[in-house]
Amino acid sequence: MAFTDTWKEFLEKFAKIYQTKIEAQPDVLPQNAIDLLRKVSAKLAAPDVLEAIDKAIKEETNADARNQASIDFLEEELKLFVTSVNEDLKQNRSQQRADSRLAQAKTIKDSLGALPLPGWVKKLLGILNELIDLVKVARP
């Protein structure tokens, strides 16, 4: 499985956790945040973004082959997140674990953002970051 395929899976699972968090606090969090997240996620999974991610990974590894280990670890983090969310959903623990999964997602997103991505991709990642912050600070 390619890195970008794992990234798309990450975005899908992140959206599920985000929706769980929103639905748990309907009076505090705006429902339209889910719609915005879906739009941002769709753009972050679009072919032009995936191509930019692939190009950034190649730049990193071409600049120094030792960077491949970091890329591999990041991909493992993505896979671990996907697996963990799947387990949470299967065992009906997604609501209890939503905050920790959002923190994990932010860390992963930050790691991806450290790659030499174009500014427009980094701006999209920034919007994702703001959406995470929105649900993290909301309290019933």
**Tally of domains within the chain:** 1
pLDDT in tens, 15-61: 999 988 888 877 777 778 889 999 999 999 999 999 999 999 999 99
Are residues 55 and 1 in contact, defined by beta-carbon separation less than 8 angstroms?
no
For helices 67-90 and 3-24, angle between their N-to-C axes, nearest 10 degrees: 40
pLDDT in tens, 66-82: 999 999 999 999 999 99
Cα angle, residue 133 at apex, residues 131 and 137 outer, rounded to 5°: 125
- The C-alpha atoms of residue 13 and residue 31 are separated, in whole angstroms, by 18
- DSSP label of 115: S
Are residues 18 and 37 in contact, defined by beta-carbon separation less than 8 angstroms?
yes
- Judge residue 32's burial from the number of C-beta atoms within 10 Å of its C-beta, 0-12 exposed, 13-18 middle, 19 or more buried: exposed
Are residues 74 and 4 in contact, defined by beta-carbon separation less than 8 angstroms?
no
Are residues 85 and 26 in contact, defined by beta-carbon separation less than 8 angstroms?
no
Q: Is the pTM of this model over 0.85?
A: yes
Number of helical H runs and strand E runs in the chain: 6, 0
Q: Which residue segment(s) compose the domain that 17 sits in? A: 3-137
Amino acid 31 reads: Q
The CA–CA distances, whole Å, from 38 to 18, 42, 96, 137 equal: 10, 6, 22, 20
- The C-alpha atoms of residue 34 and residue 17 are separated, in whole angstroms, by 11
> What per-residue confidence (pLDDT) applies to 139?
57
